[in-house]
Amino acid sequence: MLYPLLRKALFQLSPENAHQVSMSGLHFLAQLPGGKSLLKQQFQYQGKDLSKKVLGLHFPNPVGLGAGFDKNAEHLDVLSLLGFGFIEIGTVTPKAQAGNPSPRLFRLPSDQALINRMGFNNEGVEAITTRLKKYRSQNSGDLIIGGNIGKNKVTENEDAWKDYCINFKGLEEVVDYFVVNVSSPNTPGLRALQEKEALRKIFSELQLLNKNKKPILLKIAPDLETSALDDIIQLTKEINIDGLVSSNTTLDRTLLNADNQKLAETYGAGGLSGKPLLSKSNDVLSYLHKGLGSNTPIIASGGIFTGEDAKEKLDAGAHLIQVWTGFVYEGPRMVKNICEYLSSSHH
């Protein structure tokens, strides 16, 4: 496959530029005569049925793209050609935000990892909703789209619930499920909202608005202590949270090799993702699954690069999985590769 060569070229660029260039390249290919069907044929899984009904939605396969890759819902038309079972957009905030100053995204190739401190850069809920309405009107409604929602940096934590409600009202008609993101390490104080009473407030307000019963999930950090995980398990049961996304990025640098630990110090703050997160995120997933049983859907992310990694998550109790960093390192055939592995291992 050409991707290792292409990756070598892309990795000469800054990570954010590489992202732009690769997305532009995909749009270009899709616009060529026969481009769309060629991309589909190359990258979409065509094997035996891997579809799943989760959250009341019909997923063509369990492999999704995690939030933060297509923050502003600009690339759904081309990303959907690559065979994802679902795509999560955002994180979306009520007002547009520039995020943190660059550089804010760093590669650690020898660990197959990334560190980011993007800081919820996005165009704001109005612009993103408008773009999604346009996408929905021009495409058959078969792509499952999740809306990952957060609070603006300037919003005080006690008012955070209002931001989540504004996002919900805006996106409700154009996304299939919601994810409440209180676990990014890159908005000061955000992770404090994982505390039980703060969560209770956010979810109860959202549930009051949720007339059409859209699934609303909670995305958690992999760095939570067992007692905090116990609180989340208890709250999930108590107020019927529809599902969990486990997990976000980690602040733990000890998962990196020695050279990269030094390098990470020079990069500074941010969330670590990729291969080093695999076993830590699997431990959190297993703990949540044991506490909740199989009735609460869990979307698992963290360190998935291969079919084996994906199967490990599904065997540990995940209903669906999401990729992001692995997709950057493995390239566009990744989803097909994972699906082929899952179908041959009779999951």
206 half-sphere exposure, CB direction, 13 A CA radius: 33
Digit-coded pLDDT (tens) for 113-140: 999 999 999 999 999 999 999 999 999 8
Mean pLDDT of all residues belonging to the chain: 98
CA 114 to chain CA centroid, Å, is 14
35 Cβ partners below 8 Å, 6+ apart? 29
Digit-coded pLDDT (tens) for 153-183: 999 999 999 999 999 999 999 999 999 999 9
141 pLDDT band, cuts 50/70/90, is confident
Quick check: 149 pLDDT over 90? yes
1 pLDDT band, cuts 50/70/90, is low
With beta carbons less than 8 A apart as the criterion, state whether 242 and 179 touch.
Answer: no
pLDDT at residue number 91: 99
Reading the block at residue 5, the tokens are 């060569």
Q: Is the pTM of this model over 0.75?
A: yes
With beta carbons less than 8 A apart as the criterion, state whether 185 and 194 touch.
Answer: no
Integer Cα distance of 160 and 152 in angstroms: 8
Digit-coded pLDDT (tens) for 25-40: 999 999 999 999 999 9
DSSP state of 101: P
- Hey, where are the domains in the chain? 3-7+50-344
With beta carbons less than 8 A apart as the criterion, state whether 155 and 162 touch.
Answer: yes
The helix, strand and coil proportions of the chain, stated in percent and rounded to the nearest 5, come to 45, 15, 35
Integer Cα distance of 125 and 140 in angstroms: 23
pLDDT at residue number 3: 92
58 pLDDT band, cuts 50/70/90, is very high
With beta carbons less than 8 A apart as the criterion, state whether 245 and 318 touch.
Answer: no
- Looking at domain 3-7+50-344, which CATH architecture does it have? Alpha-Beta Barrel (3.20)
The share of the chain scoring above pLDDT 90, in percent, equals 98
Please give the span between the terminal C-alpha atoms of the chain, in angstroms, as a whole number: 26
Digit-coded pLDDT (tens) for 106-118: 999 999 999 999 9
- Find where tokens 């309405």 sit: 133
Q: Which residues are catalytic?
A: 184
Integer Cα distance of 127 and 323 in angstroms: 25
pLDDT at residue number 2: 82
Average pLDDT, integer, range 55-76: 99
Integer Cα distance of 183 and 222 in angstroms: 9
Beta pairing partners, 274: 113
CA 171 to chain CA centroid, Å, is 17
Quick check: 59 pLDDT over 60? yes
Average pLDDT, integer, range 52-73: 99
Integer Cα distance of 15 and 327 in angstroms: 13
Helices 15-31 and 35-43 meet at what angle, rounded to 10?
Answer: 120
Burial of 258 (0-12, 13-18, 19+ CB in 10 A): exposed
Digit-coded pLDDT (tens) for 228-278: 999 999 999 999 999 999 999 999 999 999 999 999 999 999 999 999 999
